[in-house]
Amino acid sequence: MLIAPDRRIFVGRRAQKSYGQSDAWQMPQGGVDDDETPVEAACRELWEEVGTTKALLLRESAQWLVYDVPETLRPVHWKGRWHGQAQRWFALAFTGADSDIDIEAHDKEFDAWQWMTAAEMLDRIVPFKRPTYDAVVEEFRDLVK
């Protein structure tokens, strides 16, 4: 969770139609490579998806959070091997300016981005991720608007 100085949250719109929606918004996320820790993965994913490293670690979630992708929305290339994700969340304070964000710096995960309040973000995400996002917002409630 990348948090702006005014306590709004970075949220990106997925570049490709995802989960049956052309307007799927989410916070940056991704997998942990074999040679890295979860916090190292969070920093790498921030660079790959948001195009910035201008952030300071504030807090790590107390536990892993899990969600399942509905079976009808699972990509064919998963071939039944995956059902969703287990995620460790990190609250990061954004220390740059909006011009330091470059969603086209790497593989284009997002085609648009916004700073949103927690309530705005929760209204825009895909429904099956809502319980996970509710838990993340609740855990970092004191840090966000």
pLDDT of residue 93: 98
pLDDT of residue 18: 60
Task: Supply the DSSP symbol for 107.
Answer: S
pLDDT at 6: 98
Range of the domain at 63: 2-143
Question: Residue 123 sits in a domain of what CATH number?
Answer: 3.90.79.10
**pLDDT of amino acid 57:** 97
Split into its structural domains, the chain has a count of 1
Query: Global pTM?
Result: 0.91
State which H helix or E strand residue 39 sits in. Answer: helix 38-50
Per-residue pLDDT 10s for the chain (145 aa) are 999 999 999 999 988 766 566 688 999 998 899 999 999 999 999 999 999 999 999 999 999 999 988 888 787 777 777 888 899 999 999 999 999 999 998 888 899 999 999 999 999 998 889 999 999 999 999 999 9
Strand segments, DSSP code E, in the chain are 2-3, 9-14, 25-26, 55-60, 65-68, 84-87, 90-94, 110-116
What are the beta bridge partners of residue 12? 26, 113
Please report the pLDDT score of residue 20 as a whole number: 60
- Please report, for residues 19, 20, 86, 92, the alpha-carbon distance to residue 16 in angstroms, rounded to integers and kept in the order given: 10, 10, 22, 26
Cβ-contact 126, 17 below 8 angstroms:
no
